[in-house]
A and B are shown apart, each in its own frame.
Chain A
């Protein structure tokens, strides 16, 4: 069974750093891209970026380029999303999702349960 299991909720202060994780199982982790998606409170879904575990090839949404860092450790089948200096506006639910086998690989077929990040002084 394909599963993406994300790390637990975080409460941080502005300016702090944070790294959240997404562990894949039940499939060949290194062969499927992993994306990160933000959902601010009461708002819609925003694609942040995507990484290929096989070679760490990464593409960012222009809206998130330079704001976050996406990485992967294929030895432990885990992708990461990292901030070096959090802001209150980073408060959101963050989802990881597997790029699926649909035509052209355009879809996200499995999702993690989400990690809630709260940034408050």
Chain B
């Protein structure tokens, strides 16, 4: 099984700050890496697919990069409505797994 690690597990930043989350896969997953946002009490929402593609309707302050085993998710200017937990998710040969999540809140 491919294992996913995420860091940090939580962070606190000010409105307008640049926020970066990293995700590492235990083996090469090409660009089969997606990022989700989950707000409290809500279902997850797809933000970034295929490592760097912005899902339709998602604000452009969200972005992703990387390939192989190392990936990065960035919020260019943190907004109050971005308070949530963010998960990376990988796919390999009809098996999927999620990273442990990064909880983002406002300082």
Contact = CB atoms under 8 A, between A and B. Distances in A.
Interface of A: 35, 37, 44-47, 50, 59, 61-62, 95, 97, 100, 102-109, 111-114
A13 B78 CA distance: 44
B98 A107 contact: no
B88 to A, nearest CB: 10
Q: Which 6 A-B pairs have the closest CB atoms?
A: A106-B91, A102-B49, A111-B43, A106-B32, A47-B96, A45-B98
Interface of B: 1, 31-34, 36, 38, 43-46, 49-50, 53, 55, 85, 87, 89-91, 94-101
A104 B1 contact: no
B33 to A, nearest CB: 8
Contacts of B99: 44
Contacts of A37: 44, 98
B32 A44 contact: no
A47 B4 CA distance: 13
B21 to A, nearest CB: 14
